[in-house]
Chain A
Amino acid sequence: MFVRSRPTSSPVSTRRRERLGEALVARGFLTQQDLDRALEYQRRTGDRIGRILIALGLIRRRQLYHVLAELWGYPFVDLLQEPLDSRLARLFDPAELVQRRCFPVRRHGSEIFVATAEQPSAELEEFIRGVLGPVTVRPLVTTEWDIDYAIRTVFRDVVLDRAALGLYFRNPDESARQVLIGWQKVVLASVILGVILGFLFAPRVTAVALSALVNGTLFIFVIFHFIVAMAGARHEHEQAISDEEVKALRDDELPTYTVLVPVYREANVIQHLIENLRQLDYPPSKLEILLLIEEDDEETLVAAKAARPPETVTFIVVPNGMPKTKPKACNVGLLFARGEYLTIYDAEDRPEPDQLKKAVVAFRKGPPELVCVQAALNYYNATENLLTRMFTLEYSYWFDYVLTGLDRLGLPIPLGGTSNHFRVDRLRELGGWDPFNVTEDADLGIRAAAHGYRVGVINSTTWEEANNHVGNWIRQRSRWIKGYIQTVLVHTRHPVQLVKSVGLKNVLGFILLIGGAPFAFLSLIPLWSLTLIWLVARTHVFDILFPPFVLYISLFNLLIGNGVMIYLGMLAGFKRRRYQLIPFALFNPFYWLLHSIASYKAVWQLVTKPFYWEKTRHGLTRYLDPSAPTAAKAD
């Protein structure tokens, strides 16, 4: 039981209120020097001394809360040991318990013993009575880790349910749990049937119509990409957030920031991850890092503990259940997040140290409807081999030019896999991530736009590991393409409503960007095959597919379109002055072939296993060690 030094019915009210720092020094948990250091830090950040001491690693959490319990005059309780009354606890909403940092432990008649990591107050009593009616509240003191542990244990099924099905139950039409809804299935079946019947009864007309549709769409896709990329290039030199604006931030005005790091089978990169996160330039006491580890991933959990992370890192064990995806893990993390802002990093990420501060500035500068800002992603092993070079060019083009161009043109921005910074309250309003969508990031960006929110970009980079292995690359890319198709299918379920809410321009932009990519890649192999067969055999069998107007457009696509896309690929190296990569843009047609292969795999998986998350292996690069000269620095 939790009975400790003094009776619970007599909280300290008459003795002199000893200050926490003094108490810790008096009890030998802290030296005066350490306290002075912490106080100096407190003057800068305005944060609580207890939180500061933990963040700076000057004291263990349990030690602190034992002393706090003494000072507050309540017993300390170890929730890892204490038997918990699940039935009592489940009368409460776990999200509220997380935010209030409390947990009802047990009932004794009309007395309710409530563990809390905050100083007990009338508000706590009011909260408990609001659910249970007129009861006597008996506070107990514990750490917030204990509280989170208790919540995860008692509410395991609720946590899993909310993480996996929360969005679906909130609004099924926003979830990819159903790949197609009613009318979509009807349309798809009709189209397939129509094409079959067309080939049976009017093969020429059907073939020409398909040819015209494919070529016409590709034509528009190329033009769209050109406009967006050039808009991005035009504003290449504009910086969303200046260094001066970052320097002007005072630590005391910074809010708590939550960093979610979902990991799965990443034992080999955990040490590097911890090291990379240490580099973040943000007051440690205001940083909450939640390492999301799958319940069945014992290896990563062991490695994480062995890495001896700082006290700002909390392990959140994600209950095992389907779908086993990164967005589901992030939803679990979102439940336990206490920050005003939140971001996600992958295990191998190396964010620029001032990224969080830039995000804070961006939110402060931006309009109220700004819900997320996206940092650029790029690769630190760019020059490892040909594949990493192509991948880096692609990413640079996407983040440095396309997203910037979309931002300037006011079009919806699909988020990247990591380094999206959110306002937590708005993120919860949006329902978090869709665990059934394998590109949950792109989906969330579009969902935000559909709800009238804006996504912006910030001039900060997170360095990641580029896939250096073709097989691994195809696995990853097929997941992305599958996710893009899922995203299009989800967000076009109510097209009229979508147009009314975000406007036709944004809807078209979204379809061209997210839907255009899979379409283009799926078309690539058939069209190039036709060209190749014609070049070799000089047959006229395919002439019927290309009446004059279709012929002109397809020639434009083949010659001008491909040329333009190769040329735009050259843009990629300029902003970051990675000039050695630019000539490799000439290899883009081969790179696109890989995309095309991945796209067919994506479609196959969409039909056979739509929610399957193709796990990308990380830690394959020889530039993994941050202390070694990286390809990025060597550029």
Chain B
Amino acid sequence: MVSPVISTPARRPQPKLTEGLRLVDLTWRDHLVRVLLFSLPFLGVALLAYRLAFLSNTHAHIVEKALLAADRLRLEVIGFLYPPLPFLTVLVFPRTWMPSVLASVAAGGIAWLLWYDLERTELPRLWRMLLTVSVVATPTALYLATQAYPEVLALHLVVVAWHYYWNFVRYGHTFSGFVAGLVLGLAFYANFYAFLYAIALAGLVPLFRRAANRSREPSERWATLSQMLVTAFPALWAATSWTYINWVFTGNPFTYLAEPATAVIDPTRWGTPLAERVEWLRDFASELLAQPLLIAVLALNAWRYPRRVVPLVVLASLPSLIRLVGLTYSLPLALGTYTLIALLALPERLPRWIAPLLVIFAILQGISGTTLVLREGEVSQWERVLTTEQVRTSDLEERALAVALRQAPPRSILADDRGAYRIIARAESARPFLLPADEDFTAALASPADRVRYVLVSRSAPESDVVSAQFRQGPPAGFVVDGSRAGWIVYRRIDAPSLLATP
């Protein structure tokens, strides 16, 4: 409803200051339509992978927790899973395809924002289109977009925040500053590294701000400090709040940093002595130098806006610094980050002749990235499944096992979701299972015959899977082997009907 007085508002003088504002000219409906349109290609890839029964560990973990919470109707049963945002969004309808669909939409949002952002370069539309396609149609981007929901969600939020952050530090647009801060705060609940990016962006405010003539004046210093505070506060508050919740409900404030499937701390790197970590720097440097588009963009900025080079280099170095500290930062995510920084850092109003060069660099970066990621286990498996359109045997067996287990009565299968989460996710129901989150799990573990009819173990499950650890050598008293599929063994109580027997 329009204000009775400011229905015909007079704009402040100095219109030039607001000309470069990003995103504020679009309504949320405009955004949504475009996000959905740009999501379509990713949705196609996601559904193909689903049809081929591929399920990433990350997605399995999220779906399993969502199924557990949906069945038990308590959020505490999930042990305050981190990051919670992907889980909460999947909770709406927990199915194995749901994270992929949501990831596709998040990726579509990123693609749309990249396309929107490229307009300011004033490059011809065809070249902008080629550039966008070059960066999103790579195995790295497609994997992130369809199989790494927490990471792509966080990326999406950081990209959104970046636009508003830019409005805030360059043009003093207050509303944008607060939106950026809030989005960065929200992004913490999608992935831990978003918190680090929020701190980095806050720290880089003095370098990104317009060089004011009175930069030494106290008011300018206070303005800078205020912008830093506004940028960082929500992320800091979100992290502190989550740490507090972890402490309240688990006794350990930093439980979430070591969450098995989406760990913030890389157990291998974390334990490495500092002296040995120096060697990693060479790998990180090689990785960065294998990003021709990013290097080209940094060079462009050095030519047009030299002040921006240092902060951009800091942002581009973050994936390396994060891994140097011993935290997790997957390779696909690192490559995706480099590409995004490259595109978002493109200067305004570029000469036309640069366009073909940028496309070539983007393609080279895509090839280089593909070579790197296809060494990774899950990414290469995903790529093989999609390119050969052949379902993996393990996926078929997992699905069959899950379908069979789903028929079991409620709370009749003793299992530990720290190892069995994939099976539970494929079962698309947590009801048949008695899990560590349940009150009588400990009693059932001590005396399974009194509480459950079946026990699910795996010889290759991690040690944290206490059921497998306890019973992987043989069935508990009163149980016999019912069958094995996909590396999992099902024990059944002697008097219980078989779940796996072929009719």
Contact = CB atoms under 8 A, between A and B. Distances in A.
Is the interface on chain A under 10, 10 to 19, 20 to 34, or 35 or more residues? Answer: 35 or more
B237 to A, nearest CB: 4
Given A236-B175, A240-B9, A573-B226, A552 B4 contact: no
Interface string A451-493: 0001011100000000000000000000000000000000000
Contacts of B270: none
Chain B binding surface, main DSSP class: helix
Given A563-B237, A567-B234, A579-B225, A373 B5 contact: yes
Contact of A583 (B73, B218, B226): B226
B3 A570 contact: no
A364 B55 CA distance: 66
Contacts of B219: 577, 579, 635
A287 interface: no
B284 interface: no
Nearest to A358: B5
A236 B9 contact: no
B1 A575 contact: no
B9 to A, nearest CB: 4
A582 interface: yes
Nearest to B242: A559
B12 A365 contact: no
Contact of A559 (B175, B218, B244): B244
Contacts of B229: 570, 582-583
Nearest to B224: A579
Contacts of B226: 570, 573-574, 579, 582-583
Contact of A577 (B8, B76, B175, B223): B223
Interface in B1-56: 1-12, 18
B233 interface: yes
B9 A548 contact: no
B176 to A, nearest CB: 9
Nearest to A233: B175
A370 interface: yes
Question: Interface residue tally of chain B, by bracket?
Answer: 35 or more
B325 interface: no
Contacts of A240: 3, 5-6, 9-10
B10 A457 contact: no
A366 B5 CA distance: 5
Nearest to A579: B222
A631 to B, nearest CB: 14
Contacts of B9: 235, 238-240
A548 B75 CA distance: 8
B223 A239 contact: no
B111 interface: no
A341 B245 CA distance: 56
Given A579-B225, A582-B226, A583-B226, A555 B245 contact: yes
Given A230-B175, A233-B175, A410-B3, A238 B11 contact: yes
Given A241-B10, A548-B73, A575 B174 contact: yes
29 contacts: A230-B179, A233-B178, A234-B175, A235-B9, A236-B174, A237-B11, A237-B12, A240-B9, A240-B10, A362-B5, A366-B4, A366-B5, A373-B5, A408-B6, A409-B1, A410-B1, A410-B3, A457-B6, A548-B73, A548-B75, A555-B245, A563-B185, A563-B234, A566-B233, A575-B174, A577-B223, A579-B222, A580-B218, A582-B222
Interchain residue pairs A-B with the least CB separation, the first 8: A410-B1, A242-B10, A456-B5, A579-B222, A559-B241, A238-B9, A563-B237, A582-B226
Interface of B: 1-12, 18, 73-76, 174-175, 177-179, 181-182, 185, 218-219, 222-223, 225-226, 229-230, 233-234, 237-238, 241, 244-245
Interface of A: 230, 233-242, 244-245, 362, 365-367, 369-370, 373, 407-410, 454, 456-458, 548, 552, 555, 559-560, 563, 566-567, 570-571, 573-575, 577, 579-580, 582-583, 635
